[in-house]
Amino acid sequence: MTTTFRAWLVEKHSDASGTASQTASVSELTDTDLMPGDVTLDVSWSSINYKDGLALLGRPGVVRTWPLVAGIDVVGTVTASESDRFSVGDEVLLNGAGLGETHHGGLAERARVDSASLVRVPGSLGARRAAAIGTAGFTAMLSVLAVERHGVTPADGPVLVTGAAGGVGSIAVALLSRLGFDVVASTGRVDSKGDFLRRLGAATVIDRAELSEPGKPLQSQTYAAIVDPVGSHTLVNAIARLNYGGIAAASGMAQGIDLPGSVVPFILRGITLAGINSVDAPLPLREEAWSRLATDLDPELLDGLTTEIPLDQAQAAAVAILDGQLSGRTVVDVRA
């Protein structure tokens, strides 16, 4: 008997005029629909990230082959393995690495993946918390590692986190605060999310309007480092406020893909712009980041910023994340 499983499948359609569109729906698939890979999983958890929101609502730029199972995060238990690194019964996770873009992703009850980027779920976290961290938290940790490798310490001054109420931002605030940094959190929801960000450890909360419009290329030196998932004018203004020798770790483009700024702060203040690419991170960096997440992120704090939904509510969560209404992390129990 063929076993079926549920999955959020993104499909591409063309109308009579040749205009293409994407739709996403919960579909019944079988293992014959899975893509090549050396490890097969029973999926337990996934999560909702900004990219997932785009894919589930038919927006272009994420899914690049059709039909495709959405979901850039997957956490599950190995049911078959051709890899010498993993055995049946292992709990594993994968973030990015083409999931939900060119390879079937994690918003499904089954998955088959390439083990080259696969990481064991840290025992101290467990599967649900690993999914709650997801790509957003993984990206936040990669950003923190970039700040540390640049030599920035808490003694050097405040660190600015933009988009602080979102997935990357909220985990970054929690991590940096626990590491002893004075964190300034920027958000467009100061009234509704200010207390939330202070509970995560933000010392100061500022309105994103302070950064989101065109500004001078050099502004008052304020921050030792920046963690930015927003891009565009927000990143440019943040860079203009970096201390001499500071670093901006840029991971997103929520405001835009443009960088409408000047080389002046780079030259006159010797600052560094570090790109954070979680999709293609090599295995040693993935393992380092997850090891640090298991020790540097307060699990109870993580639980407090996590919302759980069943698989069929993923599209509703996609609407909320694109509208800027989700805060913290949203995990998907794909079995519910």
27-41, 238-252, 284-298, 321-335: the lowest-pLDDT one: 321-335
Average pLDDT over residues 35-59: 96
pLDDT value at 324 more than 90: no
**Distance between CA atoms of residues 146 and 200, nearest Å:** 21
pLDDT value at 1 more than 80: no
pLDDT at site 17:
85
> What is the residue-wise DSSP string for 317-335?
HHHHHHTT---SEEEEETT
CA angle 47, 67, 118 (to 5 degrees): 45
pLDDT at site 57:
96
- Going by C-beta distance under 8 Å and a sequence separation of 6 or more, which residues neighbour residue 327? 165, 166, 170, 189, 193, 196, 305
pLDDT at site 19:
87
Q: How confident is the model at residue 313 (pLDDT cuts 50, 70, 90)?
A: very high
Can you give the pTM of this predicted structure? 0.95
The string of pLDDT tens digits covering residues 280-311 is: 999 999 999 999 999 999 999 999 999 999 99
pLDDT at site 2:
62
Average pLDDT over residues 57-78: 96
Taking all residues of the chain, what is their mean pLDDT, rounded to a whole number? 96
Query: In order of start, what are the domains of the chain with their CATH numbers?
Result: 4-121+305-333 (3.90.180.10), 134-275 (3.40.50.720)
pLDDT at site 327:
84
Average pLDDT over residues 66-95: 98
Closest Cα to residue 271, out of 289, 301, 247, 292?
A: 247
